Amino acid sequence: MMWGYGYGPNWGMMGDWGYGVYGWVHMIVWLVILVAVVVGVVWLVRSMAAPGGHHLVAPPPRSRGLDVLEERYARGEINRDEYLQKKNDILG
């Protein structure tokens, strides 16, 4: 039996190492690339599904005072001028 030719110890260019170390490194690099692509797709889908679409930063929380002011205006408790003045006061 000829060990240097065909299948057996030390066959191929890499000798006993085969593709062991380089194979693992190659597999880890591709795994990192795959994870990065999946994370990117998930981020893209979530950002497009957000209310209002394409928002990368969440809007600031809405003031409870502004909600109350709008309710009072809708019920007719205050007129338009008073509503606008108080809205400017709340928003600063």
Confidence category of residue 23, pLDDT binned at 50, 70, 90 = confident
Task: List the domain boundaries for the chain.
Answer: 20-59, 60-92
Per the model's pLDDT, the better-predicted residue between 16 and 60 turns out to be 60
Count other C-beta atoms under 10 Å from residue 90's C-beta.
13
> Looking at the whole model, is its pTM more than 0.85?
no
Residue 49 CA to residue 36 CA, distance in Å, equals 20
pLDDT at 1: 46
Looking up tokens 């400017």 gives: 88
